[in-house]
Amino acid sequence: MPKQNPVYGRVALIGLGLIASSMFWAIKRAGLAGEVTGYARSEATRATAREIGLCDRVCDSAAEAAEGADLVVLCVPVGAMSAVAAEIAPVLKSGATVSDVGSVKAAVIAAIAPHIPAGVHFIPAHPLAGTEHSGPRSGFAELFDNRWSLIVPTAGSDAAAVAKLRGFWEGLGANVEEMDAEHHDLVLAVTSHTPHLIAYTMVGVADDLRRVTDSEVIKYSAAGFRDFTRIAASDPTMWRDVFLNNKEATLEILGRFTEELFALQRAIRTGDGDMLHDYFTRTRAIRRGIIEAGQDTDAPDFGRSKAGS
């Protein structure tokens, strides 16, 4: 029997993929809403949602799902946010909150904000939790447990509405912090966006090489490369939109990455073992710092016990 602790009367989830389906199961787990409506663009996704009981009511348009909702969460790829916001704008009820879960914030705010009518709160958010899977069957209630969810209030955001959204995300299991959009986009460019691009590149290089080495790249792939392939299996539409909409920060970090890579390349070519050793010692300390701060819930135990050696 789920706990009953409703924060909103009705919640509408637009775009029924990994994040929305995880939100739905977590909402039900904690009883955070009286009713959850949902909409996805494709008929097949709506049919799947109805089949698996994803949402109390699956609607045939975004406007139908959003009408009368107290909280509307846009869970579509970043590039689709503007069109969805325009579609729901006329039916939003006064006092409602519109939020989103997009991986980029400045561009998403610019895309959504112009459509938000007076009397409706707009409070962007971004859960830092996900997997390489997508679609309505990929979600699970525990996705946000003990993960960060960043709330990015816009100019003039209503404090009570922000506090309510914070309580909602905490009810979903997340730890909540507030951050401004530009800072968010730079931090995410370092911690998520550029690493994804590097994983895509590495798997692409291996794929080119596979033509030379036949199937050995797959057969003998070690843990590091397997991690890259997991990340590189992420949804192409979502990640295309992330890079097109967090251009400046990603290019800035990619520029720095390239400089470091050239420095390491030079050290290898010139046989500068000290440089390589110093560099890897510094990066190992960063990893250990993350584990000691308890910020890597997936880290195996040996990571902690060896941290002082």
Ligand X SMILES: NC(=O)C1=CN([C@@H]2O[C@H](COP(=O)(O)OP(=O)(O)OC[C@H]3O[C@@H](n4cnc5c(N)ncnc54)[C@H](O)[C@@H]3O)[C@@H](O)[C@H]2O)C=CC1
DSSP state of 46: H
Strands 125-127 and 8-14, bridge-based pairing = unpaired
Q: By CB under 6 A, is residue 231 in contact with ligand ENO? A: yes
Q: By CB under 6 A, is residue 131 in contact with ligand ENO? A: yes
Q: By CB under 6 A, is residue 171 in contact with ligand X? A: no
The entry of ligand X, ligand ENO, none that residue 231 binds, CB within 5 to 8 Å by partner kind: ligand ENO
CA–CA separation, 159 and 80 (whole Å): 28
CA–CA separation, 106 and 184 (whole Å): 8
Element (H, E) at 66: helix 62-66
Task: Kindly indicate which of the ranges 3-11, 72-80, 90-98, 207-215 contains the residues binding ligand X, using the contact rule CB under 6 A.
Answer: 72-80
CA–CA separation, 152 and 187 (whole Å): 13
Task: Kindly indicate which of the ranges 111-119, 126-134, 210-218, 285-293 contains the residues binding ligand ENO, using the contact rule CB under 6 A.
Answer: 126-134
Q: By CB under 6 A, is residue 44 in contact with ligand X? A: no
Per-position x/- string for 83-122, each x denoting binding to ligand X as judged by CB under 6 A, each - no binding: xx----------------xxx-------------------
Q: Write down how long the chain is.
A: 309
Least Cβ distance, residue 186 to ligand X (angstroms): 17
Alpha helices in 67-220 (DSSP H): 81-88, 106-112, 159-171, 181-188, 194-213, 216-219
Q: Which residues in 163-188 are b (16+ Cβ under 10 Å) and which e?
A: ebbbebbbbbbbebeebebeebbbeb
End-to-end, the C-alpha distance of the chain in Å comes to 47
The entry of ligand ENO, ligand X, none that residue 206 binds, CB within 5 to 8 Å by partner kind: none
Q: By CB under 6 A, is residue 97 in contact with ligand ENO? A: no
Q: By CB under 6 A, is residue 138 in contact with ligand ENO? A: no
Least Cβ distance, residue 235 to ligand ENO (angstroms): 10
Element (H, E) at 130: none
Q: Rule CB under 6 A: which of 239-258 touch ligand X?
A: 242
Strands 148-151 and 125-127, bridge-based pairing = antiparallel
The residues binding ligand X (CB under 6 A) are 14-20, 40-42, 45, 75-78, 80, 83-84, 101-103, 127, 130-131, 134-135, 235, 238, 242
Q: Which residues bind ligand ENO (CB under 6 A)?
A: 103, 128-132, 192, 231
